[in-house]
Amino acid sequence: MGKVVINVDHLGVRFLMSSEKVDNLKEFVIKRINRQINYKQFWALKDVTFNVEQSDRVGILGLNGAGKSTLLKVIAGVMKPTEGIATTKGRIAPLLELGAGFDLQYTGAENIYLYGAVLGYSKEFIKDRFKEIVDFSELGDFINVPVKNYSSGMKSRLGFSIATIVEPDILILDEVFAVGDAKFRKKSEKKIKSMFKTGVTVLFVSHNIEQVKTICNKAILLEKGTLIAQGDVNEVCEIYENKINR
């Protein structure tokens, strides 16, 4: 029905892993001379193909090491695929491990500008939304305190508030509801659901099947880097549950 906003076509990501990690010049030179560097290939993703249409909410399921995070990194543009392509249309707001990009010496207020800049927003835009961000994060006067003195809940609240203040076209949620207290979690779930109405496309990673079912309408299932199921969220969740319980 809708237009395709994420197109992943025969995507493959290969890692080269040397059997011993060589990360300094001294070892590199010695091992090069002795010809001791052997690279092992490892495909984190192999031949993954799927489309996401506008305002679809897609859950990405899979056990640890299935390639979920790698897939999100490729879609977010952080990592380049070894083969195949992943194209996206529109602005992407990644909500990956909230607050990881904060500068600890900086105050909350300064971090709003910094984090906003990292996400590619202009100064005027952030200035306009500044109050809204502070209000949503419920930080109050703590906004002028260096982030190093924040609790982890405060950090993730601030990160969430900055990343969702815009209306992105594609929202990437990677285990974001695992943090914050119950009250804020409810509030953020509500916020994300309100974003659905604006036609945002969502990629959602979670190990909590119930959550996936309430948020998503479609799902894909990854196993060891390959796509083994895609389609309606309930069907895919069933396959996934069968796999776990087996």
Partner 1 sequence: MKQIIKNFNKYKFLLSELVVKEIKLKYRRSYLGILWTLLEPLLTMIVLSVVFGSFYGRSDKTFPIYVLTGRLLYAFFSNATKSAMKSIRTNGQMLKKVYVPKYIYPLASILSQYVTFLISLIVLVGVSIYLHIKPTIYLLEAIVPLLVLFVMVLGVGLILATLAVFFRDMEYLWGVILMMIMYCSAIFYDPERIIKTGHGWILQYNPLYSIILNFRNTVMDGLPLDMNALLYSIGFSVAALIIGMWMFYKKQDEFILNI
Kindly list the residues in this chain that would bind partner 1 in the complex (CB under 8 A): 15-16, 23-26, 28, 73, 76-80, 92, 94, 96-97, 100-101, 103, 105-106, 110, 113-114, 117-123
Which of 20/241 has CB closer to partner 1?
A: 20
Q: How far is CA 140 from the centre of its chain?
A: 27
Separation CA 32–CA 43 (nearest Å):
25
Which of 100/182 has CB closer to partner 1?
A: 100
For residue 73, the minimal CB distance to partner 1 (Å) is 8
For residue 239, the minimal CB distance to partner 1 (Å) is 30
For residue 76, the minimal CB distance to partner 1 (Å) is 6
For residue 117, the minimal CB distance to partner 1 (Å) is 4
Which of 146/228 has CB closer to partner 1?
A: 146
For residue 42, the minimal CB distance to partner 1 (Å) is 11
DSSP result, the chain: ---EEEEEEEEEEEEEEESS---SHHHHHHHHHTT---EEEEEEEEEEEEEEETT-EEEEE--TTSSHHHHHHHHHTSS--SEEEEEE-S-EEEEESTTTT--TTSBHHHHHHHHHHHTT--HHHHHHHHHHHHHHHT-GGGGGSBGGGS-HHHHHHHHHHHHHSS--SEEEEESGGGSS-HHHHHHHHHHHHHHHTTT-EEEEE-S-HHHHHHH-SEEEEEETTEEEEEEEHHHHHHHHHHHHH-
Which of 114/239 has CB closer to partner 1?
A: 114
Of 64, 72, 120, 75, give the one whose Cα is nearest residue 96.
72
Which of 34/242 has CB closer to partner 1?
A: 34
Which of 161/236 has CB closer to partner 1?
A: 161
For residue 53, the minimal CB distance to partner 1 (Å) is 22
